[in-house]
């Protein structure tokens, strides 16, 4: 596909941005099926590991992934059974539990993250600086997208 795929068009920048984000998202999502560990994790298990940048309550993980809280529990159970996460008391509220990565979980997450970063760079064709700029712009747009109300919690 040529670099200037949409250079000869009168489409507004907003529409070009939507097309680009949609194409990038769909390709990355397809690639994520191949970025896995051994034995393989389910899509939702991989998703939870990606969001485990620090110990979190399962309700926070539900918010992060736009899933209903009850959808997180069986995934956490499966990850715990595989020895990738553990439930521990929340130091801020001893009545609550948080999910945290085990050493094997840190290794699995690092492997997934490395694969995602590599494939994103290859697919997007962006430099490290361009990826940083793109990330900042997309993060800036997220509150508006969430506030629009279409990103509802789902079963996952």
* Domains contained in the chain, CATH given: 36-147 (1.10.10.10)
Q: Looking at residue 67, what DSSP letter applies?
A: B
Give 97-115 pLDDT, tens digit per residue: 999 999 999 999 999 999 9
Examine the pLDDT at 120 and tell me if it is beyond 60. yes
Assess whether pLDDT exceeds 80 at residue 7: no
Instruction: Note the pLDDT tens digit of each residue in 8-50.
Output: 678 999 999 999 999 998 888 888 778 888 889 998 999 999 9
User: Residue 149 pLDDT more than 80?
Assistant: no
- What is the distance of C-alpha 9 from the center of its chain? 32
Q: Is the pLDDT of residue 1 over 70?
A: no
pTM of the model: 0.83
pLDDT at site 133: 97
* Cα–Cα distances in angstroms (integers) from residue 134 to residues 11, 53, 56, 131, 138, in the given order: 20, 21, 27, 5, 6
Question: Which of 19, 22, 50, 39 is CA-nearest to residue 117?
Answer: 50
Q: Are 99 and 56 contacting, i.e. CB atoms less than 8 angstroms apart?
A: yes
51-87 residue pLDDT tens: 999 999 999 999 898 888 899 999 999 999 999 999 9
d(CA 99, CA 87): 5
């Amino acid at each position: 596909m040529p670099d200037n795929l949409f250079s000869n068009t009168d489409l507004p920048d907003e529409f070009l941005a939507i097309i680009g984000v949609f194409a990038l998202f769909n390709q990355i999502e397809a690639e994520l099926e191949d970025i896995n560990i051994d034995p393989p994790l389910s899509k939702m298990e991989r998703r939870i590991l990606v969001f485990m940048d620090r110990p979190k309550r399962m309700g926070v993980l539900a918010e992060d992934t736009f899933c209903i809280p009850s959808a997180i529990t069986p995934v956490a159970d499966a990850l715990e059974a595989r020895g990738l996460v553990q439930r521990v008391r929340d130091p801020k509220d001893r009545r609550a539990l948080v999910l945290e990565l085990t050493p094997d979980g840190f290794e699995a997450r690092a492997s997934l993250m490395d694969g995602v970063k590599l494939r994103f760079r290859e697919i997007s064709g962006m430099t490290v600086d361009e990826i940083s700029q793109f990330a900042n712009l997309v993060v800036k747009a997220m509150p508006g997208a969430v506030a629009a109300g279409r990103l509802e919690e789902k079963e996952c």
